[in-house]
A and B are shown apart, each in its own frame.
Chain A
Amino acid sequence: MSNLFDLLVAGLATGAIYALVAVGFTLLWQTSQTINFAQGEFVMLPAFLMLAAMHVGAPFWLAIILGILLSMILLGLAFKMLLVDPMMRHGVLPLAIATMALAIGIKEAVKQFFSAEASPFPSIVPTGDISVLGHAVSLQSIGVLVVAILAVFGLTTLLNRTSLGHQMQAAAQNPTVARIIGVPVERMILLTFLINAFLVALASLLITPIYLAKFSSGEVLGQAAFIAAIVGGFNQVRGAIAGGLLIGVLDNLAAAYVSTQYRAAVPMIFLIAVILFRPQGLLGRAEERTV
């Protein structure tokens, strides 16, 4: 079953990218009840920012840094201050709709100002294969996995082992009490937006060499991350990681063993089953009902 092994590795690599995006998604939900329908476009945009930086002559490493910084300013700071802050107190739905409009806006802006065609994007990992347990595995997959695991590991360490991380968790779980005990809740929320922007920029850097930079590539990715977040548990970072890996593997296996036509259906059916039988997600806590 060498085929199965290859599928698993490829699935884990895409899954790791989904996980990065899904983690950011759950962070936004936890701290500010933002369901970000533009998350896929958030992943699409940084690649174009990096391409633009390279276009004006910056070397690749500088373009990456500039791209990540610009993403954090645009998709973190500006997104929070201009869209989320004014709408947060009006409930989940209007804000979710506004992010849908934002998704259209980002897509159209990229199409208009960059290109409607797919552009190639340099990879941070060299191409080629190495042999693992007698199987040829592409360096790309391994590189993606390593970077994603490092990022997730860094994030969980930040959240669970540092005072800053504890403050962020407190701000997410109970803002009122957190404020009373002196946690700067506003700053913590801003921090989660910046972290999300960093994660999507990283995901962009990892996935774009594989799927090319295209204005519409956010749609599929956003949906996959969305499903990963729900399947794993909307209110748990580790749930989103597990969900991402699971959806990545499931997607690859479905393409090989179910049918290419209905491959997209498998995660959907899985999603419906999870919501109906375990709405809090595979690893999530049950939410208290508000009514």
Chain B
Amino acid sequence: MSGYAKPLKIALGLAVIAGLIVIPMNFNRYGLFILSQWAVMTIAAMGLNLTLGYAGQVSLAQGAFVGIGAYAAAIMTTHGWPLPAAIAVAIALSFAVGWVLGYPALRVQHHYLAFVTLAFSTLAFLVFRNESWLTGGIYGISGIPRPHFFGIATNKPLPFYYICLGSLAIVSLAVWWLIRSPWGRAFMALRENPLRAQSLGIDTRRYTLMAFAIGSALGGVAGALYAPLTQYIDPVPFNLSLSLDLLMMVIVGGAGFYFGPFLGAMIAVLLPEWLRFTEGYYLMLYAIAVMGLLIWSPTGILGILDRHMAARRTKAASALRAVAKSRLETAQ
């Protein structure tokens, strides 16, 4: 790439961040709710992108971890604990459960793994619904308080949106660091060729479990933010379709691309809202859009960009080659 590309990227990134901070100031309550939801779902999808996109382990249970985090936060904050403590517990709990769910991945792969995680997802939903002494059953938990930060109440939509955005920023930085660390490289080695990774001395067992545990922990973070966002939770949002939706976000955005979950969550959360003027047709149009996109580019939105850039690079390289060749020929 040429020299000005990097500053350009940084400038673009800063502009997007500034836009996310400034523009919503004029949004109404509902707009802020949708945007907060986007931030929360992006966090969950980033977790799944780690498990699936980077480490290559299919999971249909991310929605269950969002549920675990949401219930942990709801139960704790309604009993007077502060939200940060609830988030810590949500992380620890989803990490531990995710670690255990990783064990089947040591034995079975691909679609079989998808089925095991799918079954887990349904089991988690049944526990949310039936253990009413803990989760309130079908009536759910209402009156989930929003936190006070530095003396500022976040009951209004805008401050809470900034909390979601801030959490997204922290998670993004952590994931950015993680995929550039030796861990991230080990995850990718696991995805590309597990046998080779093992023969290179990577402890595939440990990294497979870690890929599940860390990805699930991010699902837990998303859930712990979701509960105070909606201030009321019941089992329905955490059924299998949330897991499927999150998987769709990751694939549509581009699995294994850092920015994939951001775009995927945008499509899944915002596109239906934009299509709402079509009334009853909006989910239908959304489904058609997703299918059309996947037919066009099975590697997702960022796959299109990636192919485009690869083509440009090859073109540039072959132009350079042609120049070098002609120089060689004239020199002879």
Contacts and interface: CB of A to CB of B under 8 A. Distances in A.
A262 B298 contact: no
Given A94-B294, A104-B286, A108-B283, A269 B123 contact: yes
Interface in A92-110: 92-98, 100-102, 104-105, 108-109
B interface SS class = helix
Given A276-B104, A291-B193, A97 B247 contact: yes
Contacts of A37: 244
A35 interface: yes
B138 to A, nearest CB: 11
Interface in B101-144: 104, 107-108, 110-112, 114-116, 118-120, 122-123, 126, 129-130
A97 B251 contact: yes
A269 B126 CA distance: 12
A105 B111 contact: no
A112 interface: yes
A7 interface: no
Interface string B190-234: 000111000000000000000000000000000000000000000
Interface residues of B, number: 41
A90 B288 contact: no
Contacts of A226: 115, 118
The winner among B119, B193, B299 for most chain A CB atoms within 10 A is: B119
Given A91-B298, A94-B298, A291-B193, A101 B248 contact: yes
Nearest to B294: A98
Interface in A255-282: 261-262, 264-265, 268-269, 271-272, 275-276, 279
Interface residues of A, number: 40
B280 interface: yes
B123 A112 contact: no
Contact of A272 (B104, B129, B195, B291): B104
B294 A271 contact: no
Contacts of B112: 230, 275, 279
A86 interface: yes
Nearest to A100: B244
A25 B203 CA distance: 37
Contacts of B110: 92
A83 B291 contact: yes
B130 A262 contact: yes
Contacts of A101: 248, 287-288, 290-291, 294
B116 A272 contact: yes
A113 to B, nearest CB: 9
Given A93-B251, A261-B130, A265-B126, A105 B115 contact: no
A87 B298 contact: yes
Contacts of B247: 97, 100
A255 to B, nearest CB: 13
Given A94-B294, A272-B116, A104 B287 contact: yes
Contact of A268 (B111, B123, B294): B123
A83 B194 CA distance: 31
Given A108-B284, A108-B287, A291 B195 contact: yes
Interface string B238-264: 001000100110011001000000000
B284 A264 contact: no
Given A230-B115, A268-B122, A272-B120, A93 B58 contact: yes
A285 interface: no
B177 interface: no
Contact of A111 (B251, B280, B295): B280
B81 interface: no
B176 interface: no
B281 interface: yes
Contacts of B248: 97, 100-101
B123 A265 contact: yes
Nearest to A265: B126
Contact of A94 (B115, B194, B195, B251): B251
The winner among A94, A230, A261 for most chain B CB atoms within 10 A is: A94
A271 B119 contact: yes
B251 to A, nearest CB: 5
A262 B126 contact: yes
A90 B298 contact: yes
B290 A98 contact: yes
A226 B259 CA distance: 32
20 contacts: A92-B110, A95-B298, A97-B252, A98-B294, A102-B291, A104-B284, A105-B283, A105-B288, A108-B280, A111-B280, A112-B284, A226-B115, A227-B119, A230-B112, A230-B115, A261-B130, A271-B115, A272-B116, A276-B104, A291-B194
Given A97-B252, A104-B286, A261-B126, 17 more contacts: A94-B251, A94-B294, A94-B299, A96-B114, A98-B290, A98-B291, A102-B287, A108-B284, A226-B115, A226-B118, A227-B119, A264-B126, A268-B119, A268-B123, A269-B119, A275-B112, A279-B108
A-B complex: 6 closest residue pairs judged by Cβ atoms = A105-B287, A90-B298, A94-B298, A101-B290, A268-B119, A104-B287
